[in-house]
Structure 1
Amino acid sequence: MAAQLPRSGPGDSPSLLRRSLQGLPGKLIAAAEFLYTPEPDTAQLAALGLTPEDLGDKSSFDVFPENYASVEVFNAMRTQWRTDMGVPVGLDYSALPSVMRLFGVPAVQRRKVFDDVRVMEHAAICLMREQQ
């Protein structure tokens, strides 16, 4: 039997997103954090007695094959942030269908990719707000 989502009213979607984030393995969130976490500069590292070599190679991030299209689409959307007074509030979803088509996401996978992008969007927003 398929699970049914509760009917929601205006403004209920953030709580639905929070519920959807619970219990996730974290691979999509880790990908968003990788893409939106700036690397510390050498002065910051030196203050901790570290060098860039101590951190290892942080130039790439492994993505599971089932998440690759979602991460690729999310990364391509990085220029589509909507902001309010300089604070990111979300992605401009009107660009999403075009980006999915450009990256060849099959129509049957677009709902999953959209849901994955929303998870990464939420993680990126939290991270960007912490950095301000």
Structure 2
Amino acid sequence: MAAFGLTESDYDEEYVEIWQDNLDAFKLFKAMSTQWRTSMSGILGLDYNCMPWVMKINNIAESETIFNDIQIMESEALKIMHKSK
């Protein structure tokens, strides 16, 4: 975890409710969890080239809202991953 700027405190065990309107975006973000682009300086962001395929195999319809939601989650995840730098 330390290699990615994370600590155990970044993982809370509290329950988080996901609204139905956000469920597809959450499922897509979770499915994209292995699709981070990296460089010598660390994690850069998600590899959007994979997203249409990941959406297809997870039966998630393409939409502007889903893309915007993914970008918001990606931005927040990057802030957490880079906070120690």
Identify whether the pair has TM-score above 0.5, normalized to the shorter chain. Answer: yes
Q: 1:96 aligned to 2:56?
A: no
Q: Which runs of 4+ in 1 moved over 3 A?
A: 37-40
Structure 1 unaligned regions, length at least 5 = 1-36, 41-56
Secondary structure (helix, strand or coil) at the match of 1:104 reads coil
What's the TM-score, normalizing by structure 2? 0.78
Deviation at 1:59, TM superposition (A): 5.6
Q: For each residue in 1:97-127, what CA deviation from the matched residue of structure 2 results, as whole angstroms up to 9, or x when unmatched?
A: 01111121124xx221111101100111111
Q: Aligned partners of 1:96, 1:81: CA distance in 2, in Å? A: 11
Q: 1:118 aligned to 2:71?
A: yes
Distance 1:59 1:76, change over 3 A: farther
Q: Which has the higher helix share?
A: 1
Superposed CA RMSD: 2.0
Deviation at 1:58, TM superposition (A): 1.4
Q: For each residue in 1:54-82, what CA deviation from the matched residue of structure 2 results, as whole angstroms up to 9, or x when unmatched?
A: xxx81642101000100110011111111
The number of residues matched between the two structures is 78
Q: 1:39 aligned to 2:39?
A: no
Q: Aligned partners of 1:95, 1:60: CA distance in 2, in Å? A: 29
Structure number with greater CO (CA < 8 Å, separation at least 6) is: 2
Structure 2 unaligned regions, length at least 5 = 1-5
Q: State the one-letter code of the partner of 1:116.
A: D
**Which of the pair has more CA radius of gyration?**
1
Q: State the one-letter code of the partner of 2:66.
A: V
